[in-house]
Amino acid sequence: MDTLSEKVILVTGAARRVGAAIARRLHAEGARVALHYRRAADEALALAEELNRLRPDSAAAFAADLRETVRLPLLVADVAKRWGRLDGLVNNASSFFSTPVGKIDESAWEDLVGSNFKAPLFLSQAAAPYLTATRGAIVNITDIHAELPLAGYAVYCAAKGALLTLTRALAIDLAPAVRVNAVAPGAILWPEDGQFPSLERAAIVGHTLLKREGRPQDIASAVCFLLADAGYVTGQVIHVDGGRTAHLSSP
C-alpha cells in the first residue's frame, strides 16, 4: 500500500490510548478506519464522530468481545461489508496484568492469551481472504517483553511471545499477497491501575537510551510506516522503545 487513501483498516482496541492514536494517524493519512471496541462505546463513538467530521464516511465503530472466537469472522465481514473491502488489520487490543507463579488461574489464562494471541490469530485468519484480494497488510502490536520477559507477568509475556512467533509464521503463510509485521512498544503509556509505582517507572525510563517515555504517536507512526511505506518488509518487528532493548540482556 503506497498510500492509505481510501484504504480500509480495522484497528482493534481503537477507542482509547494507543489504539486511538493509531486510528487518528491512519485516518490523517487518508484511510477509512474501523474502530473496534469492547466496553468503551462512548469513546469509540465519539472518535468516529470526530473523524467523520473531518472526512465524511471515513470512520465507524464496531463492538465485539475478541475472546468470543465465533464473533471474529463476523466482525471482519461487517467491516468489509461497510466499505466493500479490507486493506489492513492492526491487532492492538490487549489485556495486561500480573500473574505471579502459584496464583495463575484459568481466568487469567483465558483473558491474557485470548486477547494477546488467540484473537489476533483468528482475526488474521478471518481477514486473510479480504487482505489477499487487496494485497493488504497486518500489523501486530507485541511488546519488548515478548523477548525479554518481565518478572511477575509470565502469562502476558508468553502470550506476546506467541504473537511475535505468529507474526513471522503468518508472514510465511500469507506471502506473497499479504505482508505481516509487528511493532513492539517499550515505555509508552503506563497502566491506569497503578501497576507500576513512580520509582519503578523512573527506573524503567532510566534504562532507555533516550532517557524519556515514548508517546502513543510513536507507535502510530511505526504502524503507519508498516502499512503505507514498507512494501518490501514482512516478517519483521520494529522495537519502539527508546533504545531500551538495545543494551539490556534482562528486563
Tens of pLDDT, residue by residue over 78-109, are: 999 999 999 999 999 999 898 999 999 999 99
How much of the chain exceeds pLDDT 70, in percent? Answer: 96
Band the pLDDT of 1: cuts 50, 70, 90. very low
Tens of pLDDT, residue by residue over 41-74, are: 999 999 999 999 999 999 999 999 999 999 999 9
Give me the CATH code for the 8-246 domain, please. 3.40.50.720
pLDDT at 3: 82
Domain locations along the chain: 8-246
Band the pLDDT of 187: cuts 50, 70, 90. confident
Active site residue 232: no
Mean pLDDT of 28-33: 98
Bridge-based pairing state of the strands 32-37 and 8-11? parallel
Q: Is the pLDDT of residue 250 over 60?
A: no
Q: What is the pTM of this model?
A: 0.94
Tens of pLDDT, residue by residue over 201-248, are: 888 888 889 999 889 999 999 999 999 999 999 999 999 999 988 876
Tens of pLDDT, residue by residue over 163-181, are: 999 999 999 999 999 999 9
User: Which residue in the list 37, 130, 153, 156 is annotated as catalytic?
Assistant: 156
